[in-house]
Amino acid sequence: MSKQNGFHVVTPLLESTAMSKQIGTTVYLKMESSQPTGSFKIRGIGYMCQNVRKKYSKGVICSSGGNAGMATAYAARQLKLPATIVLPSSTPQLVAQKLKDQGAMVKVVGKVWDDANAEALRLAESEGLTVIHPFNHPLVWKGHSSIVHELKASLPSKPGAIVVSIGGGGLFCGIMEGLDEVGWGDVPVLCMETVGADCLSVALKARDLVTLPDITSEATCLGAKTACQQAFEYSKRPNVISEVVTDLQALEAVELFLDEERVLVELACGASLAAVYSGVIQRLQEEGRLPKPLDSLVMIVCGGGSMNLAQLQHLQAVIRKRPHL
């Protein structure tokens, strides 16, 4: 792995034998879990922080359920910028500690990301800080688009489809921007969300952006109540497919991935892995919405720094005791 912009690394592209066997085509894993901060977020947020640094800034502030905050704190420390991270109370304690270890000031405000974001905007105004939005900014999308440029350089041919988890839509916007840039604009993109954090799926059904009343999924890193406008616009393209899985399906995907690939990812990442493990790809092929046979499938393993053994055990206890699943 080599550094590309001083912050993110060019991540491994690995073939998954087990997943390939399950769906009958070659499955590649783009291992964003290997990034310095544990997730893809360092690409876009690192790129934005670099651009902010070129202007005078008193410091940066980011509202985050974890991974965007980690990326902001990491990039700010490298750039010698003060960083304030505003977390919702749903954020695991280990994330808050990791942020403090990076030298960031941490504030916990509200229950969900939207509450934390409102406080971040208030503080930015009152203290003259530069807002680093976790997902809704063109510089963030531009940074994330580097994933596709790496895929273009590594894959033997154009992929049959790409699978990605969706929260507010920043990674998805970067993927779509990158696909257009490399001439792969017709590649099917499967957007995966969890029930209770499915703002894009709900918006597509309503044909307009919708704000969820609450985030009820345990996949808190997918927990934006409203998708960004650009993600909604991209999602209208005919090659974009939106699917939703349960927290239990995402959890089972995390467990299977740990067993098969020996990598622990968070529940948000499990949503995209469930596309294979829960049979979503196969169902879409049977429905004629994805080609069969499918050329290679690329899974964006977005990673996540908010998962450890204790957090996995907590999720197993919480999700598996739900009577309705």
Tell the residue number behind the tokens 């969706």, with chain if given.
Answer: 166
> b/e per residue, 179-215, with b = 16+ CB within 10 A?
beeeebeebbbbbbbbbbbbbbbbbbeeeebbebeeb
Per-residue pLDDT tens over the stretch 164-179: 999 888 999 999 999 9
State the Cα–Cα distance between residues 25 and 114, nearest whole angstrom: 40
Most confident of 64-68, 121-125, 175-179, 290-294: 175-179
CB within 8 Å of 312: residues ≥ 6 apart: 254, 264
Per-residue pLDDT tens over the stretch 69-80: 899 999 999 999
Closest CA to 69 of 120, 31, 30, 115: 120
State the Cα–Cα distance between residues 63 and 102, nearest whole angstrom: 16
Say which amino acid occupies 151: L
CB within 8 Å of 129: residues ≥ 6 apart: 57, 58, 59, 60, 61, 84, 123
Domains observed in the chain: 13-30+137-321 (3.40.50.1100), 41-131 (3.40.50.1100)
pLDDT at 120: 93
Per the prediction, the chain carries an average pLDDT of 89
Q: Where are the beta strands (DSSP E) in 175-295?
A: 189-194, 240-245
pLDDT at 2: 47
What three-state secondary structure class fits 276?
helix
End-to-end CA distance of the chain: 40
Residue 232 has pLDDT above 90, yes or no: no
